[in-house]
Structure 1
Amino acid sequence: MKWFKRIIIALFSLTLLGVGAIAAAYFYVLPDLPDVTTLKTVKLQTPLRIYSADGKLISQFGEKRRIPVEYEQVPQQLINAVLDTEDARFFEHKGIDPIGIVRAAFILATTGKKSQGASTITQQVARGFFLSREKTYIRKIKEIFLALKIEKALNKEEILTLYLNRSFLGNRAYGVGAAAQVYYGKELAQLTLPEMAMIAGLPQAPSAANPIRNPVRAINRRNWVLSRMLEKNNITEQEYLAAIAAPITAEYHGAEVELYAPYISEMARDYLAEKYGEEEAYTGGYNVYTTIDSRLQQLAQQALRNNVYAYDERHGYRGPTKVLWQPAAAIPANESIIEQLKQTQGFQGLEPAAVLKVGEQSAQVLTAEGQIITLEWQGLKWARKFISNSRQSRAPKAASEILNVGEQIWIRHAETWQLSQIPEVASAIVSLDPHNGAIKTLVGGYSFHTSQYNRVTQAKRQLGSNIKPFIYTAALEKGYTLATLINNAPINNADIRQGTAWRPKNSPDRYTGPTRLRVGLAQSINVMSVRTMRYVGLEETIDTLVRFGFDREDMPKNESLALGSPSVTPLQVVTAFSAFANGGYRVEPYYIDHIDNAYEQTIEQSNPTFACTPEIDDTPNDTLPALITATELTTSAETTNELSQAVSVNGCPIEARHAERIISEQTAFLITDALKSVIWGGGDWRKGTGWNGTAWRAARVVNRRDIAGKTGTTNESRDTWFSGFNPKLVTTVWVGFDDHSKELGRTAWNANGEKDQISGAEAGAKTAGPAWNEFMKNALANTPEEPSQPPKGIVSARIDLATGKLSRKTDHTSAFEYFVSGTEPTEMATEPQQQDDIFIDDAVEELFQ
């Protein structure tokens, strides 16, 4: 009995000692224990995502790939796989597993090694959120007490959800949602049993068991997970055998980018980083929804690429990128060639290739993927030798004049495979909704891969004749009409403010005497623009340009202004042209519709300017619809239409911000109508009075009567523009070199070219125009034309085409013209006049001759 009492006393003492030790340990670590209730509002580090207006992923930023999931979204078999592998008694214990602790202690005592962990999932959550991974006793003690506190603060489903979203699973994937996408390109619900088992085996060794880097160890780990599931009766023997026989199908999947639009995504990233700081922007889980229309953006990117390829190819072939072996040497093995080709990354549809064989009018090439392709003559014949931007060699007659065996070249696939090269010319395209300023497309250059410089927002280039609609706007406001005669004659009295004898010339150098304003704008006649500005006055012209959104400091105070010497960005230009399309309002361009946080709550909402004025003064209060605040307005097409109907008067949202009216509706209509003549011309070709505007190619390609536009070219063709619109979409295209000293040059007729090829001096209509034509044709396809309706205050009168005076004739010498009521001519024409037949391209405009 004495020994029994001693044993009882000893056990009791040990118990007290253990309790005391635990209490002492608790109070020792208590000051260092964090507040676990923060887990209820924990913010997982989730990457920044940029989307188009229609919800397509444009880009993702952030080092950690994480796709947070709710407990209900995780397949039960994946939960079983994780629990069977990591913590089979998870739903039974209170945060720590005594059996696991005893097992780990026994292994430590018998081997002296800490090879067996005893951490429950709750403990792993405690360690992952609050502690380091170092194997020390004090960390283990903290981990245990934190686990007990977590079990009191959260339920089991909440703890398991944190674990499933937090665990690092290799390849920058954090959480099972990201792992499913990274390894299999799937959502959780689409995973197979072997794939679930593979993911469940990753938390303890994400590198060693990585199915991409270590497939052998990964399959062993997967099969062990499956054996645990079988042991726990969560799968059948048949399911187990089928699963372990399944091959590894994992491969790396990047973020599921559905729309490649790097320039706009970089703008959104920059905005978030500046506002919230880079760390918060990249980890805060923000979802930015832009105003970009995915269909239009893809069309814009394709139109820009096609256009710069066309420019680049008509100016000649600059030769191979390198020589891999000499033609006289033995051809290396294909494997060796492929290895060299893989050192060059393809992009924008361009692929590196090596020339294996040159035929009479064909060539055989090898790609980096090991594919042997035959380049037919159709894909080679364009390649005249490049001499300079203004000179090319004669057209080749044989493939040997173009290529040699052993050369590394670029190829791309258009209708067929063809020889290509990286364009040196730069370009930009941007489109707006003219009624609220939403940016629908934005392409800042040919390739973000080669240059991150965003030419839409950063490049200030000379405007050229794109300025003329604004010059004539100022003249209409001061009393001119579209029928006003302006002398198309050489200017001999130089502008002394230039410092030199500046005498502007027409291009081509042709003068027709007194000419109607409509014709002068449509044919971009330089001296008429200068005389018009003299009529308006330099300061008043600058004031008008500033109203359209151009910066006053960019406006030179001399007459070169009339021909477009100011340097502006394409975004400024497209915004200014929007005023003609929307009836005279200056909208504010914007590219972010709204921003959601990680909890799908909208934290920022666009508040755009609408191009309208609600006329509510005479509307009884009881008939007005219920109002909403401006911050609740959205600008997606469908929602905007709904809001316009629900909270608008005459189609104008009442509580929205309203754009500033900068010109009258009547002036906007008249300039728009004149800009249609830039495309469609005028007169009667059958009677000899027909004439073309500078953008006559747009009429052939786009072939719609509701489009209007203006070409633009500067000195020595350094900058070329085309800006135009229909009532729903306004677009500006710029083409030039980033090095402003380089000229776009000219091309000679190519005997191997197509019948409708472009040749001669580069200019707005020929260099920028084709991209606008292609884009607008496709963008407006399957949409009805919207014939213009003259606004109140506009009248029409039949005028004599030669004099601009009233005419009683109804033949080819007269036509109807629009006027602001009260400005129509009152004098009748008395003598017949002959109108010259003019067919003009927008050629080089010499600003400083």
Structure 2
Amino acid sequence: MSWFKKITLLVLAGLMFGVLAVAGAYLYVKDDLPSVATLKEVKLQTPMRVFSQDGQLISQFGEKRRIPLKLEEMPELLIKAVLATEDSRFYEHPGIDIIGMFRAATVVALSGEARQGASTITQQVAREFFLSREKRILRKVKEIFLAIRIEQQLSKDEILELYLNKIELGQRSFGVGAAAQVYFGKAIQDLTLSEMAIIAGLPQAPSVLNPVRSPSRARTRRNIVLGRMLSEKYITKQQYEEAVQEPIISKLHGAQITASAPYVAEMVRQEIVAKYGEEEAYSKGFQVYTTVDSRLQAKAVEAVQKNVVGYDERHGYRGPVATLWQANAETQADGSVQFAEQGRLSDAEILAYLDEQDGLEDLTPAVITAVSGREASAILSGGRAIQINWQGLSWARKFISHDRQSHAPKSAAEVVAPGMHVLVRPQGANWRLGQIPNVSSALVAINPTDGALQALVGGYSFAMTQFNRATQANRQVGSNIKPFIYSAALDNKLTLATVMNDAPIHEWDEGANQAWRPKNSPEVYDGPIRIREALAKSKNVVAIRLLRTVGIEKTRQHLTKFGFRDKDLPHSETLALGSASLTPLELATGYAVFANGGYLVKPYFISKVLDDENNLIFEHKPVPVCAECEARDLAGQQAVLQARQHEKAQQQAAAEALAADPEAQLEAQFAAPVSPNQTAIADFVSAEVPYAPRVISAQNAFLVADALKSSIWGGRGWVGTAHRLRDLKRQDLSGKTGTTNDVKDAWFSGFSPELVVTTWVGFDDAESRLGKTAWNSNLGKDQTTGSEAGAKTALPAWQEFVGFALEGKPQIITPPPVGISSVRIDLATGLLTQATDNSSTFEYFIQGTEPKTYANSSVSPVPTESKETQEDIELF
């Protein structure tokens, strides 16, 4: 046999052996091969995203970061970069690349090293979706057959789209969309050619080639990708040269958050996990839309942080974060100050130190490098040098205690020295010395017509602590409780014109074995005073006398109508002074009853949930205020009552007739017709109430809301505790300050007909006092001094937020409801008067409770069940 025949037979034998080997391998593994048909309905694991009501991204939750994209949404150059690097013959081979496999095998044979991969993109899809990464021959065989199957059932574009969305690219990013965000903080369409090449080079070894961990390796790999693109003629020589010269600037980026509401996001996370479980919540791509307005939320964050910083600065500077080297101040003959520095760090050492430090919110770590006169020089991370001028330093008198501050500084050397690690914040074009506030705060805003949460801030910084003070902090509410005490009084025959005695109370408390002497704050007593004025001035002793008049238990029962829990309301007269502990959200919910005319709404913050394909899987059905519905159902209830009465009369008449005719009685047992009204009555009684329940009368709600306007606008010759809100120039606002005993908590709650807002300021330990501040001679006349209180400490954030929320909106003046009358009364006695001068005013009354006599007439007091003497209380 000639050598040619031998070679031919050898090749044929080899081919036959190869075919038999492939067939045998297929028969061996075919039962273990999964169905690739599932790829047509594949659900990529995507994180849960939380949005504001206007579509701004609040947060993202999930272990895997993924932004699924359609192939047409991906830049063409990025696709070509991946193809050039991973599988240049992708659109030509049937799932496996024989040429590529032969080339890789040749390299192994010649070099003894596996320098080139032989897996196609289709094979990688098979491995990612169906197989493990273990390096075994059997796994490789399965991969090859799965790749062929995939090519038979999916188009090339479908396979490539799956690959580009599925591939792991390091730092918990999966898919090219997520990688663009994680490494460069960009949408994929905004990437440069260099950045696309970096991402395209990651599949080979994402953990070591990513630009965050190793910029040098990422640069080398990028240049290889760009070289492959150039050889495939996907880019020009000029594009190649420009891209390889581009510096690699990369850091880890989170999701592109466009609305700052981290406390709301955490509330959503807990709710969704409780409803769907962790696995589904974090991987099914839920899109959760909240009720939060992104504009209002941004202003709420700004108002709270600005107010907290204002409080913190006026109480003094607590010193640097750390001291890196010693610098002793020495006063020179000309009065200037020089520093003798010991152990000063080099610039490189300072920068290395700053690279390890963290900022918080708008606070940035800095190291003071020089101090001269009334300014200081500092360096920031990255080497940026800044100047802190006197405007940014003059506030920083030394903190001694919450009640005491040192003298105002006269030079920068009294505040800072070289070597100090400090925190600074931008102040326009300049910088300001700062510090992390010790005090906490919260703000919550809801829509009183349905309870939808409009904005919520649970603290100065979510990064510092995730404890949500708006929903979790039960704090004593102080005078914020008084409107509810007064509402109970109005529900028990008292009026806004009722005169009470604003005088000190001295009583022996047998239980405590000591005298109880509740005081006004400030300790000013006006003697006989009308209820409206007492509420506006926040008179403590009047609130106690009202509580005694109505009775503690009766008052507590009334307060539960506003959604307050019975266990949170003390069984003592301290209830009138605000010893009850509530959360800001609970208080806002209670105040909403006054704002909406007497209805209790239930707060909610999730409006709807969509799946990853935008299908609606949950939608909240709010239970709104609906006065028309109430009137309609009242008429329906009356109709049902009339029908029942009519039916009862018919049954009685029929019974009497049957009693007179025994034969008819026997027939009736078989007939037993069902009343046509019974079904309708049963349906009406069992129907779920479609609107918020009324808990107090419209008249009661109106009177309290109107009285709370006097807290802002005052009266003839007197001002209310919230008089600063006059600056908003709105007549549709009502509000109440709140300050607890020893000034541990400061509150302000108020509302318009369309917005209810509560703000709180205090320390988390609940024992520290908010204290007081002295005058700082370095600052202007607008500074806050004296004892902290609701009007000084909590109201400013409320004012800034509400002023923004209602800016440009028309005032909504709620008209008196049916059942309210208005008569002219004497200011001193609350009785009727014919005078039209400054001694009188018009007052609102629930019809039937108006005074019956005139101020110049003698009248007997109305008897009450109060323990007060006639000297203490006069009811007219």
- C-alpha spacing 1:800/1:346, structure 2 compared with 1 (3 Å): same
Q: 2:499 aligned to 485, 489, 510, which one?
A: 485
Is contact 1:585–1:612 with CA below 8 Å preserved after alignment?
A: no
Q: 2:381 aligned to 368, 388, 412, which one?
A: 368
Is contact 1:337–1:354 with CA below 8 Å preserved after alignment?
A: yes
- The residue number in structure 2 matching 1:647 is none
Equivalent AA in structure 1 for residue 714 of structure 2: G
Equivalent AA in structure 2 for residue 402 of structure 1: V
- The residue number in structure 2 matching 1:762 is 788
- C-alpha spacing 1:613/1:153, structure 2 compared with 1 (3 Å): farther
Task: Map residues 632-651 of structure 1 onto 2, 5 A cutoff.
Answer: none
Task: Map residues 499-538 of structure 1 onto 2, 5 A cutoff.
Answer: 500-538=514-552
- Quick one: distance in 2 between partners of 1:790 and 1:799? 18
Equivalent AA in structure 1 for residue 710 of structure 2: S
Is contact 1:291–1:438 with CA below 8 Å preserved after alignment?
A: yes
Is contact 2:370–2:378 with CA below 8 Å preserved after alignment?
A: yes
SS of 2:629's equivalent in the other structure is: coil
Task: Map residues 347-426 of structure 1 onto 2, 5 A cutoff.
Answer: 347-414=360-427, 416-426=430-440
Comparing 6-15 with 494-503, which one deviates more in the overlay?
A: 6-15
Task: Map residues 453-602 of structure 1 onto 2, 5 A cutoff.
Answer: 453-494=467-508, 500-602=514-616
SS of 1:658's equivalent in the other structure is: coil
Equivalent AA in structure 1 for residue 761 of structure 2: V
Q: 1:771 aligned to 797, 817, 833, which one?
A: 797
- Quick one: distance in 2 between partners of 1:775 and 1:760? 24
CA offset at residue 713 of structure 1?
1.0
- The residue number in structure 2 matching 1:92 is 92
- Quick one: distance in 1 between partners of 2:249 and 2:413? 46
CA offset at residue 680 of structure 1?
1.1
- The residue number in structure 1 matching 2:778 is 752
- Quick one: distance in 1 between partners of 2:410 and 2:8? 108
- The residue number in structure 1 matching 2:708 is 675
Task: Map residues 143-292 of structure 1 onto 2, 5 A cutoff.
Answer: 143-235=143-235, 243=243, 248=248, 252-292=252-292
Corresponding position: 1:660 with 2:693: yes
- The residue number in structure 2 matching 1:804 is 830
Corresponding position: 1:121 with 2:84: no
Residues 398-433 of structure 1: CA distance to partner in whole angstroms, max 9, x if unpaired?
433333343333332335533322211111111111
- Quick one: distance in 2 between partners of 1:326 and 1:27? 79
- The residue number in structure 2 matching 1:692 is 719
- The residue number in structure 2 matching 1:639 is none
- Quick one: distance in 2 between partners of 1:339 and 1:4? 74
Is contact 1:355–1:407 with CA below 8 Å preserved after alignment?
A: yes
CA offset at residue 655 of structure 1?
11
Comparing 96-105 with 117-126, which one deviates more in the overlay?
A: 96-105
- The residue number in structure 2 matching 1:641 is none
- C-alpha spacing 1:617/1:365, structure 2 compared with 1 (3 Å): closer
Is contact 1:608–1:656 with CA below 8 Å preserved after alignment?
A: no
- C-alpha spacing 1:224/1:396, structure 2 compared with 1 (3 Å): closer
- Quick one: distance in 2 between partners of 1:101 and 1:735? 69
Residues 677-704 of structure 1: CA distance to partner in whole angstroms, max 9, x if unpaired?
1111111xxxxxx11111112223x332
- Quick one: distance in 2 between partners of 1:718 and 1:439? 27
- C-alpha spacing 1:241/1:344, structure 2 compared with 1 (3 Å): closer
Equivalent AA in structure 2 for residue 96 of structure 1: I
Equivalent AA in structure 2 for residue 697 of structure 1: R
SS of 1:338's equivalent in the other structure is: helix
- The residue number in structure 2 matching 1:828 is 854
- The residue number in structure 2 matching 1:739 is 765
CA offset at residue 165 of structure 1?
0.4
Equivalent AA in structure 1 for residue 750 of structure 2: G
CA offset at residue 17 of structure 1?
4.2
CA offset at residue 369 of structure 1?
4.3
- Quick one: distance in 2 between partners of 1:361 and 1:108? 71
- C-alpha spacing 1:550/1:519, structure 2 compared with 1 (3 Å): same
Equivalent AA in structure 2 for residue 776 of structure 1: V
Is contact 1:681–1:691 with CA below 8 Å preserved after alignment?
A: yes
Residues 654-673 of structure 1: CA distance to partner in whole angstroms, max 9, x if unpaired?
99941121112221111111
- C-alpha spacing 1:239/1:389, structure 2 compared with 1 (3 Å): closer
Is contact 1:495–1:558 with CA below 8 Å preserved after alignment?
A: no
- Quick one: distance in 1 between partners of 2:560 and 2:452? 21
CA offset at residue 146 of structure 1?
1.3
CA offset at residue 773 of structure 1?
1.6
SS of 2:853's equivalent in the other structure is: coil
- Quick one: distance in 2 between partners of 1:827 and 1:496? 41
SS of 1:585's equivalent in the other structure is: coil
- C-alpha spacing 1:336/1:662, structure 2 compared with 1 (3 Å): same
CA offset at residue 733 of structure 1?
0.8
- C-alpha spacing 1:96/1:371, structure 2 compared with 1 (3 Å): closer
- C-alpha spacing 1:108/1:419, structure 2 compared with 1 (3 Å): closer
- Quick one: distance in 2 between partners of 1:108 and 1:338? 47
- C-alpha spacing 1:220/1:404, structure 2 compared with 1 (3 Å): closer
- Quick one: distance in 2 between partners of 1:13 and 1:379? 88
Unaligned runs of 5+ in 1: 620-653, 684-689, 833-849
- Quick one: distance in 2 between partners of 1:373 and 1:84? 47
Is contact 1:610–1:656 with CA below 8 Å preserved after alignment?
A: no
Unaligned runs of 5+ in 2: 328-339, 634-686, 859-876
Equivalent AA in structure 1 for residue 483 of structure 2: P
- C-alpha spacing 1:237/1:712, structure 2 compared with 1 (3 Å): closer
CA offset at residue 130 of structure 1?
1.3
- C-alpha spacing 1:825/1:299, structure 2 compared with 1 (3 Å): same
Is contact 1:122–1:147 with CA below 8 Å preserved after alignment?
A: yes
Is contact 1:675–1:708 with CA below 8 Å preserved after alignment?
A: yes
**Count of residues in correspondence between the two structures:** 791
Is contact 1:498–1:558 with CA below 8 Å preserved after alignment?
A: no
SS of 2:326's equivalent in the other structure is: coil
- Quick one: distance in 2 between partners of 1:380 and 1:243? 46
- Quick one: distance in 2 between partners of 1:450 and 1:35? 49
- C-alpha spacing 1:618/1:399, structure 2 compared with 1 (3 Å): closer
Comparing 181-190 with 710-719, which one deviates more in the overlay?
A: 181-190
- C-alpha spacing 1:186/1:118, structure 2 compared with 1 (3 Å): same
Is contact 1:356–1:365 with CA below 8 Å preserved after alignment?
A: yes
SS of 1:515's equivalent in the other structure is: strand
Residues 433-476 of structure 1: CA distance to partner in whole angstroms, max 9, x if unpaired?
11111111111111222222111111111111100000111111
- Quick one: distance in 2 between partners of 1:762 and 1:671? 26
- C-alpha spacing 1:400/1:432, structure 2 compared with 1 (3 Å): same
CA offset at residue 164 of structure 1?
0.8
Comparing 399-408 with 256-265, which one deviates more in the overlay?
A: 399-408
Comparing 420-429 with 667-676, which one deviates more in the overlay?
A: 420-429
Equivalent AA in structure 2 for residue 129 of structure 1: F
CA offset at residue 300 of structure 1?
1.3
Q: 1:610 aligned to 621, 624, 629, which one?
A: 624
Equivalent AA in structure 1 for residue 712 of structure 2: I
- The residue number in structure 2 matching 1:713 is 739
